[in-house]
Amino acid sequence: MKAESLAQGLVCIDCGAAHALGYRLECERCRGLLELRYDIPRLAKTGPAILAGRGLWRYAPVLPIADPAHRVTLGEGETPLLECPHLAKELGVRRLLAKFEGPNPTGTVKDRSSATAVGAALQFGYAATSVVSSGNAGSSIAAYSARAGLRSLIFAYERASAPKLLHMAATTADLIIYKGVYDDLIPLWDGLVEERLFFDCGASRNAYKQEGKKTLAYELAEQTAFAPPDVVVAPVAVGETFIATARGFREMREAGWIAKAPLLVAAQAARANAVVRAFRDGGAIVPLKIGYTVAEGLAAGNPGKKGAWVLRLLREQRSLAGDAEDDEILAAQRRLARTEGIWAGPTGVATLAVLIRLLAEKRLDPAQTICVVLSETGLKTEAEPPSRSGTAFDADALRRLVRERLGTT
Ligand SMILES: *Cc1c(COP(=O)(O)O)cnc(C)c1O
Ligand SMILES: [Zn+2]
Protein backbone atom coordinates (compact mmCIF):
# COMPACT_ATOMS: atom_id res chain seq x y z
CA MET A 1 0.00 0.00 0.00
CA LYS A 2 3.04 2.29 -0.30
CA ALA A 3 2.58 2.68 -4.05
CA GLU A 4 3.87 5.86 -5.56
CA SER A 5 1.41 8.28 -7.20
CA LEU A 6 2.12 8.66 -10.93
CA ALA A 7 0.38 12.07 -11.10
CA GLN A 8 2.58 14.43 -13.11
CA GLY A 9 0.69 17.65 -13.49
CA LEU A 10 -2.53 19.45 -14.30
CA VAL A 11 -3.71 20.28 -17.81
CA CYS A 12 -6.38 22.81 -18.82
CA ILE A 13 -9.20 21.06 -20.66
CA ASP A 14 -9.90 24.20 -22.72
CA CYS A 15 -6.54 25.63 -23.82
CA GLY A 16 -4.27 22.69 -23.02
CA ALA A 17 -1.92 24.76 -20.81
CA ALA A 18 0.12 22.59 -18.45
CA HIS A 19 0.39 23.45 -14.76
CA ALA A 20 2.52 21.97 -12.00
CA LEU A 21 0.84 19.79 -9.38
CA GLY A 22 -0.60 21.95 -6.63
CA TYR A 23 -3.86 23.24 -5.23
CA ARG A 24 -5.10 25.13 -8.24
CA LEU A 25 -8.77 25.24 -9.20
CA GLU A 26 -8.62 26.68 -12.70
CA CYS A 27 -6.31 27.50 -15.58
CA GLU A 28 -4.21 30.59 -14.99
CA ARG A 29 -4.44 31.47 -18.64
CA CYS A 30 -8.12 31.00 -19.53
CA ARG A 31 -9.93 30.02 -16.28
CA GLY A 32 -10.79 26.62 -17.79
CA LEU A 33 -11.13 23.51 -15.64
CA LEU A 34 -8.04 21.46 -14.93
CA GLU A 35 -7.56 17.73 -15.07
CA LEU A 36 -4.80 15.57 -13.68
CA ARG A 37 -2.34 13.79 -15.93
CA TYR A 38 -0.37 10.65 -15.11
CA ASP A 39 2.67 8.82 -16.39
CA ILE A 40 0.86 6.70 -18.99
CA PRO A 41 4.05 5.16 -20.49
CA ARG A 42 4.85 3.84 -17.03
CA LEU A 43 1.35 2.33 -16.73
CA ALA A 44 1.81 0.80 -20.17
CA LYS A 45 5.10 -0.73 -19.09
CA THR A 46 3.97 -2.21 -15.77
CA GLY A 47 0.44 -3.14 -16.81
CA PRO A 48 -2.12 -3.77 -14.06
CA ALA A 49 0.60 -5.52 -12.01
CA ILE A 50 1.36 -2.06 -10.59
CA LEU A 51 -1.88 -2.26 -8.58
CA ALA A 52 -1.54 -3.62 -5.04
CA GLY A 53 -3.66 -3.83 -1.93
CA ARG A 54 -7.41 -3.55 -1.68
CA GLY A 55 -10.20 -1.00 -1.85
CA LEU A 56 -9.87 2.46 -3.36
CA TRP A 57 -6.18 2.94 -2.53
CA ARG A 58 -5.32 -0.11 -4.61
CA TYR A 59 -5.44 2.51 -7.38
CA ALA A 60 -3.02 4.90 -5.62
CA PRO A 61 -0.68 5.00 -8.67
CA VAL A 62 -3.48 6.67 -10.67
CA LEU A 63 -4.64 8.94 -7.83
CA PRO A 64 -3.07 12.31 -6.93
CA ILE A 65 -2.27 11.75 -3.25
CA ALA A 66 1.50 11.34 -2.95
CA ASP A 67 2.07 10.62 0.74
CA PRO A 68 0.58 7.33 1.99
CA ALA A 69 -0.07 9.08 5.34
CA HIS A 70 -2.63 11.28 3.55
CA ARG A 71 -4.55 8.37 2.05
CA VAL A 72 -7.55 8.52 4.37
CA THR A 73 -9.82 5.50 4.29
CA LEU A 74 -13.00 4.10 5.77
CA GLY A 75 -12.92 0.99 3.60
CA GLU A 76 -14.40 2.52 0.43
CA GLY A 77 -14.36 1.00 -3.05
CA GLU A 78 -14.16 -2.66 -4.03
CA THR A 79 -17.94 -2.60 -4.46
CA PRO A 80 -19.66 -5.56 -6.12
CA LEU A 81 -20.31 -5.90 -9.82
CA LEU A 82 -23.52 -7.92 -9.82
CA GLU A 83 -24.96 -9.98 -12.64
CA CYS A 84 -28.69 -9.24 -13.01
CA PRO A 85 -30.01 -12.25 -14.95
CA HIS A 86 -33.66 -11.93 -13.92
CA LEU A 87 -33.93 -8.29 -14.88
CA ALA A 88 -31.88 -8.87 -18.05
CA LYS A 89 -34.43 -11.46 -19.12
CA GLU A 90 -37.38 -9.17 -18.35
CA LEU A 91 -35.80 -6.32 -20.30
CA GLY A 92 -34.57 -8.47 -23.16
CA VAL A 93 -30.93 -7.48 -22.58
CA ARG A 94 -28.23 -10.01 -23.43
CA ARG A 95 -26.27 -9.36 -20.24
CA LEU A 96 -27.04 -6.81 -17.52
CA LEU A 97 -24.57 -5.86 -14.80
CA ALA A 98 -24.98 -3.54 -11.82
CA LYS A 99 -22.05 -1.76 -10.20
CA PHE A 100 -23.61 -1.28 -6.77
CA GLU A 101 -22.14 1.56 -4.73
CA GLY A 102 -24.39 0.98 -1.71
CA PRO A 103 -21.78 -0.99 0.26
CA ASN A 104 -19.48 2.05 0.49
CA PRO A 105 -18.91 3.37 4.05
CA THR A 106 -21.56 6.11 3.83
CA GLY A 107 -23.66 4.27 1.28
CA THR A 108 -22.83 6.15 -1.91
CA VAL A 109 -20.32 6.69 -4.72
CA LYS A 110 -19.39 9.96 -2.96
CA ASP A 111 -16.99 8.07 -0.69
CA ARG A 112 -14.64 7.58 -3.62
CA SER A 113 -14.32 11.33 -4.19
CA SER A 114 -14.31 12.11 -0.46
CA ALA A 115 -11.27 9.90 0.04
CA THR A 116 -9.25 11.90 -2.50
CA ALA A 117 -10.82 15.26 -1.53
CA VAL A 118 -9.96 14.89 2.13
CA GLY A 119 -6.62 13.31 1.20
CA ALA A 120 -5.89 16.45 -0.85
CA ALA A 121 -6.96 18.68 2.06
CA LEU A 122 -4.27 16.95 4.16
CA GLN A 123 -1.77 17.09 1.31
CA PHE A 124 -2.21 20.86 0.94
CA GLY A 125 -2.18 21.53 4.68
CA TYR A 126 -5.78 22.55 5.34
CA ALA A 127 -7.42 22.25 8.77
CA ALA A 128 -11.04 22.44 7.58
CA THR A 129 -13.17 21.23 4.70
CA SER A 130 -16.54 22.38 3.40
CA VAL A 131 -19.20 21.31 0.91
CA VAL A 132 -22.71 22.27 -0.24
CA SER A 133 -24.80 19.16 -0.50
CA SER A 134 -28.20 17.64 -1.06
CA GLY A 135 -27.15 15.10 1.58
CA ASN A 136 -24.82 12.43 0.24
CA ALA A 137 -21.70 14.55 -0.27
CA GLY A 138 -22.35 16.16 3.12
CA SER A 139 -22.39 12.95 5.10
CA SER A 140 -19.47 11.54 3.15
CA ILE A 141 -17.21 14.61 3.45
CA ALA A 142 -18.14 14.90 7.14
CA ALA A 143 -17.23 11.26 7.80
CA TYR A 144 -13.92 11.41 5.92
CA SER A 145 -13.00 14.75 7.50
CA ALA A 146 -13.64 13.30 10.96
CA ARG A 147 -11.54 10.31 10.03
CA ALA A 148 -8.69 12.61 8.98
CA GLY A 149 -8.99 14.79 12.08
CA LEU A 150 -10.23 17.81 10.11
CA ARG A 151 -13.12 20.12 10.87
CA SER A 152 -15.95 20.11 8.29
CA LEU A 153 -18.48 22.81 7.56
CA ILE A 154 -21.42 21.04 5.92
CA PHE A 155 -24.16 22.98 4.13
CA ALA A 156 -27.15 20.69 3.65
CA TYR A 157 -30.32 20.90 1.59
CA GLU A 158 -33.42 21.59 3.73
CA ARG A 159 -35.32 18.76 2.03
CA ALA A 160 -32.60 16.14 2.45
CA SER A 161 -34.06 12.84 3.65
CA ALA A 162 -34.14 12.20 7.40
CA PRO A 163 -31.54 9.40 7.27
CA LYS A 164 -29.14 11.71 5.44
CA LEU A 165 -29.68 14.53 7.94
CA LEU A 166 -29.21 12.18 10.87
CA HIS A 167 -26.01 10.90 9.34
CA MET A 168 -24.64 14.41 8.78
CA ALA A 169 -25.61 15.57 12.26
CA ALA A 170 -23.78 12.56 13.66
CA THR A 171 -20.54 13.08 11.73
CA THR A 172 -20.05 16.86 11.91
CA ALA A 173 -20.42 19.46 14.65
CA ASP A 174 -21.00 22.08 11.96
CA LEU A 175 -24.13 21.20 10.02
CA ILE A 176 -25.86 24.20 8.45
CA ILE A 177 -29.21 23.79 6.70
CA TYR A 178 -29.75 26.12 3.72
CA LYS A 179 -32.98 27.37 2.16
CA GLY A 180 -33.72 26.46 -1.44
CA VAL A 181 -31.83 24.08 -3.69
CA TYR A 182 -28.14 23.45 -4.39
CA ASP A 183 -28.09 26.02 -7.19
CA ASP A 184 -29.21 28.78 -4.82
CA LEU A 185 -26.22 28.53 -2.51
CA ILE A 186 -23.43 27.17 -4.71
CA PRO A 187 -22.47 30.44 -6.51
CA LEU A 188 -21.99 32.21 -3.15
CA TRP A 189 -20.11 29.29 -1.64
CA ASP A 190 -17.91 28.86 -4.73
CA GLY A 191 -17.01 32.55 -4.41
CA LEU A 192 -15.89 31.99 -0.84
CA VAL A 193 -13.61 29.14 -1.93
CA GLU A 194 -11.25 31.79 -3.36
CA GLU A 195 -10.60 33.08 0.16
CA ARG A 196 -9.10 29.70 1.08
CA LEU A 197 -10.75 29.55 4.51
CA PHE A 198 -11.45 25.88 3.96
CA PHE A 199 -10.52 23.19 1.46
CA ASP A 200 -12.94 23.05 -1.48
CA CYS A 201 -14.79 19.74 -1.31
CA GLY A 202 -17.40 20.92 -3.81
CA ALA A 203 -18.05 19.41 -7.20
CA SER A 204 -17.58 22.52 -9.36
CA ARG A 205 -13.82 22.74 -9.86
CA ASN A 206 -11.60 20.64 -7.62
CA ALA A 207 -9.67 18.19 -9.83
CA TYR A 208 -8.32 16.25 -6.84
CA LYS A 209 -11.74 15.49 -5.44
CA GLN A 210 -13.20 14.26 -8.69
CA GLU A 211 -10.28 11.92 -9.19
CA GLY A 212 -11.44 9.36 -6.62
CA LYS A 213 -14.50 8.55 -8.70
CA LYS A 214 -12.19 7.39 -11.48
CA THR A 215 -11.65 4.19 -9.51
CA LEU A 216 -15.14 3.10 -10.65
CA ALA A 217 -13.67 2.56 -14.13
CA TYR A 218 -10.59 0.75 -12.83
CA GLU A 219 -12.71 -1.58 -10.70
CA LEU A 220 -15.09 -2.27 -13.58
CA ALA A 221 -12.11 -3.21 -15.74
CA GLU A 222 -10.53 -5.46 -13.12
CA GLN A 223 -13.85 -7.13 -12.30
CA THR A 224 -14.34 -8.06 -15.97
CA ALA A 225 -10.77 -9.25 -16.57
CA PHE A 226 -10.10 -6.07 -18.60
CA ALA A 227 -12.96 -6.68 -21.00
CA PRO A 228 -15.32 -3.99 -19.67
CA PRO A 229 -19.03 -3.89 -20.62
CA ASP A 230 -20.04 -2.46 -24.01
CA VAL A 231 -22.19 0.19 -22.35
CA VAL A 232 -22.01 1.84 -18.91
CA VAL A 233 -24.92 4.03 -17.81
CA ALA A 234 -23.65 6.61 -15.31
CA PRO A 235 -25.54 9.27 -13.32
CA VAL A 236 -24.95 12.97 -13.95
CA ALA A 237 -25.64 15.75 -11.44
CA VAL A 238 -22.69 18.11 -11.81
CA GLY A 239 -20.77 15.52 -13.80
CA GLU A 240 -17.86 14.35 -11.63
CA THR A 241 -18.80 10.69 -11.79
CA PHE A 242 -19.24 10.76 -15.55
CA ILE A 243 -16.08 12.73 -16.30
CA ALA A 244 -13.89 10.75 -13.92
CA THR A 245 -15.19 7.38 -15.14
CA ALA A 246 -14.65 8.41 -18.76
CA ARG A 247 -11.06 9.38 -18.01
CA GLY A 248 -10.36 6.18 -16.09
CA PHE A 249 -11.31 4.22 -19.18
CA ARG A 250 -9.31 6.58 -21.40
CA GLU A 251 -6.17 6.12 -19.29
CA MET A 252 -6.51 2.35 -19.40
CA ARG A 253 -7.00 2.42 -23.15
CA GLU A 254 -3.97 4.68 -23.64
CA ALA A 255 -1.91 2.40 -21.43
CA GLY A 256 -3.09 -0.63 -23.39
CA TRP A 257 -4.84 -2.22 -20.41
CA ILE A 258 -8.14 -2.42 -22.30
CA ALA A 259 -8.76 -2.64 -26.04
CA LYS A 260 -11.86 -0.45 -26.05
CA ALA A 261 -13.58 1.92 -23.64
CA PRO A 262 -17.28 1.33 -22.99
CA LEU A 263 -19.87 3.68 -24.42
CA LEU A 264 -20.62 5.92 -21.45
CA VAL A 265 -24.29 6.95 -21.35
CA ALA A 266 -25.40 9.90 -19.18
CA ALA A 267 -28.49 9.52 -16.96
CA GLN A 268 -30.37 12.38 -15.33
CA ALA A 269 -33.64 12.95 -13.52
CA ALA A 270 -36.25 14.56 -15.81
CA ARG A 271 -36.71 17.28 -13.20
CA ALA A 272 -33.01 18.19 -13.35
CA ASN A 273 -32.07 17.41 -16.94
CA ALA A 274 -30.01 20.37 -18.16
CA VAL A 275 -27.36 18.16 -19.79
CA VAL A 276 -29.91 15.88 -21.47
CA ARG A 277 -31.79 18.86 -22.91
CA ALA A 278 -28.65 20.45 -24.33
CA PHE A 279 -27.60 17.11 -25.80
CA ARG A 280 -31.01 16.63 -27.38
CA ASP A 281 -31.21 20.18 -28.74
CA GLY A 282 -27.61 20.23 -29.94
CA GLY A 283 -26.88 23.50 -28.16
CA ALA A 284 -25.16 24.70 -25.01
CA ILE A 285 -26.42 24.06 -21.49
CA VAL A 286 -29.20 26.37 -20.35
CA PRO A 287 -29.38 26.39 -16.53
CA LEU A 288 -32.75 25.21 -15.22
CA LYS A 289 -34.72 26.44 -12.25
CA ILE A 290 -35.50 23.16 -10.52
CA GLY A 291 -37.63 21.98 -7.64
CA TYR A 292 -37.68 18.67 -5.81
CA THR A 293 -36.90 15.33 -7.41
CA VAL A 294 -36.80 11.97 -5.62
CA ALA A 295 -33.31 11.63 -7.12
CA GLU A 296 -32.07 14.12 -4.52
CA GLY A 297 -28.42 13.58 -5.41
CA LEU A 298 -29.10 14.58 -9.04
CA ALA A 299 -30.89 17.84 -8.16
CA ALA A 300 -28.55 20.31 -9.86
CA GLY A 301 -30.17 22.65 -12.38
CA ASN A 302 -26.93 24.43 -13.26
CA PRO A 303 -24.07 21.97 -13.65
CA GLY A 304 -21.73 24.81 -14.67
CA LYS A 305 -18.45 24.14 -16.46
CA LYS A 306 -18.48 20.45 -15.57
CA GLY A 307 -21.86 20.05 -17.24
CA ALA A 308 -20.36 21.54 -20.40
CA TRP A 309 -17.49 19.08 -20.07
CA VAL A 310 -19.94 16.16 -19.87
CA LEU A 311 -21.69 17.46 -22.97
CA ARG A 312 -18.38 17.66 -24.83
CA LEU A 313 -17.53 14.04 -23.88
CA LEU A 314 -20.98 12.85 -24.95
CA ARG A 315 -20.58 14.51 -28.34
CA GLU A 316 -17.00 13.32 -28.85
CA GLN A 317 -17.99 9.72 -28.11
CA ARG A 318 -21.25 9.97 -30.06
CA SER A 319 -22.86 8.62 -26.93
CA LEU A 320 -26.34 8.96 -25.49
CA ALA A 321 -28.02 10.91 -22.72
CA GLY A 322 -31.41 10.10 -21.25
CA ASP A 323 -33.67 11.10 -18.40
CA ALA A 324 -36.49 9.56 -16.36
CA GLU A 325 -39.45 10.93 -14.42
CA ASP A 326 -39.71 10.47 -10.65
CA ASP A 327 -42.41 7.80 -10.96
CA GLU A 328 -40.28 5.83 -13.43
CA ILE A 329 -37.34 6.04 -11.02
CA LEU A 330 -39.45 4.76 -8.11
CA ALA A 331 -40.85 1.96 -10.27
CA ALA A 332 -37.32 0.93 -11.31
CA GLN A 333 -36.28 0.98 -7.66
CA ARG A 334 -39.01 -1.49 -6.65
CA ARG A 335 -38.47 -3.63 -9.70
CA LEU A 336 -34.74 -3.96 -9.01
CA ALA A 337 -35.37 -4.84 -5.37
CA ARG A 338 -37.95 -7.52 -6.25
CA THR A 339 -36.12 -9.07 -9.20
CA GLU A 340 -32.53 -8.97 -7.97
CA GLY A 341 -32.65 -8.13 -4.26
CA ILE A 342 -30.66 -4.93 -4.74
CA TRP A 343 -32.01 -2.02 -2.70
CA ALA A 344 -30.68 1.16 -4.25
CA GLY A 345 -31.90 4.70 -3.50
CA PRO A 346 -33.79 6.78 -6.09
CA THR A 347 -30.66 8.75 -6.99
CA GLY A 348 -28.80 5.50 -7.40
CA VAL A 349 -31.40 3.84 -9.56
CA ALA A 350 -32.06 6.69 -12.00
CA THR A 351 -29.56 5.00 -14.33
CA LEU A 352 -31.73 1.89 -14.49
CA ALA A 353 -34.88 3.93 -15.13
CA VAL A 354 -33.06 5.70 -17.96
CA LEU A 355 -31.83 2.39 -19.37
CA ILE A 356 -35.40 1.04 -19.38
CA ARG A 357 -36.50 4.12 -21.33
CA LEU A 358 -33.64 3.97 -23.82
CA LEU A 359 -34.44 0.30 -24.50
CA ALA A 360 -38.15 1.05 -24.92
CA GLU A 361 -37.29 3.86 -27.35
CA LYS A 362 -34.92 1.48 -29.20
CA ARG A 363 -32.04 3.92 -28.77
CA LEU A 364 -29.81 1.22 -27.29
CA ASP A 365 -29.03 -2.22 -28.71
CA PRO A 366 -30.04 -4.89 -26.15
CA ALA A 367 -27.69 -7.48 -27.68
CA GLN A 368 -24.79 -6.05 -25.68
CA THR A 369 -23.37 -6.21 -22.19
CA ILE A 370 -24.84 -3.25 -20.37
CA CYS A 371 -23.81 -2.04 -16.92
CA VAL A 372 -25.74 0.41 -14.78
CA VAL A 373 -23.97 2.30 -12.00
CA LEU A 374 -26.28 2.15 -8.96
CA SER A 375 -24.72 5.00 -7.03
CA GLU A 376 -26.40 4.80 -3.61
CA THR A 377 -27.98 2.49 -1.07
CA GLY A 378 -31.74 2.52 -0.55
CA LEU A 379 -31.22 2.70 3.20
CA LYS A 380 -30.76 6.49 3.23
CA THR A 381 -34.11 7.18 1.58
CA GLU A 382 -37.13 8.49 3.38
CA ALA A 383 -40.21 6.53 2.47
CA GLU A 384 -43.56 5.61 3.96
CA PRO A 385 -43.09 2.19 5.63
CA PRO A 386 -45.73 -0.51 5.02
CA SER A 387 -48.53 -0.83 7.59
CA ARG A 388 -47.24 -1.53 11.09
CA SER A 389 -50.46 -3.17 12.37
CA GLY A 390 -49.27 -6.51 13.74
CA THR A 391 -50.95 -9.92 13.98
CA ALA A 392 -50.97 -12.00 17.20
CA PHE A 393 -50.38 -15.68 16.36
CA ASP A 394 -50.93 -18.99 18.05
CA ALA A 395 -49.24 -22.13 16.64
CA ASP A 396 -52.19 -23.11 14.41
CA ALA A 397 -52.73 -19.63 13.03
CA LEU A 398 -49.02 -19.33 12.25
CA ARG A 399 -48.95 -22.71 10.45
CA ARG A 400 -52.11 -21.82 8.50
CA LEU A 401 -50.62 -18.54 7.33
CA VAL A 402 -47.32 -20.09 6.23
CA ARG A 403 -49.15 -22.88 4.35
CA GLU A 404 -51.49 -20.39 2.70
CA ARG A 405 -48.69 -18.08 1.61
CA LEU A 406 -46.55 -20.86 0.19
CA GLY A 407 -49.53 -22.55 -1.46
CA THR A 408 -49.14 -25.89 0.35
CA THR A 409 -52.62 -26.12 1.96
C1 LIG B 1 -23.65 13.10 -6.18
C2 LIG B 1 -24.23 11.86 -6.65
C3 LIG B 1 -24.21 11.46 -8.00
C4 LIG B 1 -23.65 12.19 -9.18
O5 LIG B 1 -23.07 13.40 -9.01
P6 LIG B 1 -21.96 13.98 -9.97
O7 LIG B 1 -21.73 15.33 -9.43
O8 LIG B 1 -22.53 14.04 -11.35
O9 LIG B 1 -20.80 13.10 -9.87
C10 LIG B 1 -24.79 10.27 -8.32
N11 LIG B 1 -25.32 9.47 -7.39
C12 LIG B 1 -25.32 9.80 -6.10
C13 LIG B 1 -25.93 8.85 -5.13
C14 LIG B 1 -24.78 11.00 -5.68
O15 LIG B 1 -24.81 11.28 -4.37
ZN1 LIG C 1 -6.67 27.21 -20.11
At residue 1, does pLDDT exceed 50?
no
**Residue nearest ligand 1's atom 14 by CA:** 297
Asked if residue 264 lies in contact with residue 313, where contact means CB atoms within 8 angstroms, the answer is: yes
Beta carbon of 108 within 6 Å of any ligand 1 atom = yes
What confidence score (pLDDT) does residue 387 get? 87
pLDDT of residue 388: 87
Burial letters for 341-371: b for 16+ Cβ neighbours within 10 Å, e otherwise? ebbbbbbbbbbbbbbbbbbeeeebebebbbb
How many Å lie between the centroid of ligand 2 and the Cα of residue 33?
7
Best of 376, 377, 381 to mutate for ligand 1, by most ligand atoms within 8 A of CB?
A: 376
pLDDT at 181: 83
| Beta carbon of 164 within 6 Å of any ligand 1 atom | no
Mean pLDDT of the chain: 96
Ligand 1 center–CA 89 separation, angstroms: 28
Give the mean pLDDT of 49-61: 97
Tell me the pLDDT tens digit for each residue of 349-379: 999 999 999 999 999 999 999 999 999 999 9
Query: By the 8 A CB rule, do 6 and 61 touch?
Result: yes
- Mean pLDDT throughout 271-300? 94
Q: What are phi and psi of 325, to 5 degrees?
A: -75, 160
The amino acid present at 221, given as its one-letter code, is: A
Rounded Cα distance between 196 and 316, Å, is: 35
Q: Whose CA is nearest to atom 11 of ligand 1?
A: 375
Instruction: Give the per-residue pLDDT at 253.
Output: 98
- In the reported structure, the alpha carbon of residue 32 is separated from the centroid of ligand 2 by a whole-number distance in angstroms of 5
Q: Which residues contact 110 (CB under 8 A, 6 or more apart)?
A: 104, 136, 137, 140, 141
Task: Name 386's Cβ contacts closer than 8 Å, sequence gap at least 6.
Answer: none
Q: What is the pLDDT of residue 213?
A: 98
pLDDT confidence bin for 2, thresholds 50/70/90: low
Answer for the pair 277, 299: CB distance below 8 angstroms, yes or no: no
Confidence of residue 65 (pLDDT cuts 50, 70, 90): very high
List the 95-100 sheet strands across, edge first. Answer: 81-83, 95-100, 369-374, 231-235, 263-269, 321-324
CATH 3.40.50.10420 for the 81-105+210-380 domain, yes or no:
no
pLDDT band at 79 (very low <50, low <70, confident <90, very high): very high
Using a 6 Å cutoff on CB, does residue 376 contact ligand 1? yes
95 alpha carbon – ligand 2 mean position (Å)? 41
pLDDT reading at 409 higher than 80: no
The one-letter amino acid at 396 = D
User: Candidates 233, 236, 276, 373: which one to mutate for ligand 1, based on the most atoms within 8 Å of Cβ?
Assistant: 236
Confidence of residue 385 (pLDDT cuts 50, 70, 90): confident
Task: Using the mean position of ligand 2's atoms as its centre, give its distance from the Cα of residue 271 in Å.
Answer: 32
**Which among 143, 169, 80 has a CA at the least distance from the CA of 374?**
80
Ligand nearest to the CA of 237: 1
For residue 405, how far is its CA from the centre of ligand 2 (angstroms)?
65
Confirm or reject: Cβ of 132 under 6 Å from ligand 1. no
Cβ of residue 109 lying under 6 Å from some atom of ligand 1:
yes
Ligand index nearest the alpha carbon of residue 294: 1
Find out whether the beta carbon of 333 lies less than 6 Å from any atom of ligand 1: no
Spatial CA neighbour of 194 closest among 31, 329, 339, 335: 31
Q: Kindly report, residue by residue over 208-250, the tens digit of the pLDDT.
A: 999 999 999 999 999 999 999 999 999 999 999 999 999 999 9
Residue 383 has pLDDT above 80, yes or no: no
270 vs 285: CA distance, rounded Å: 15
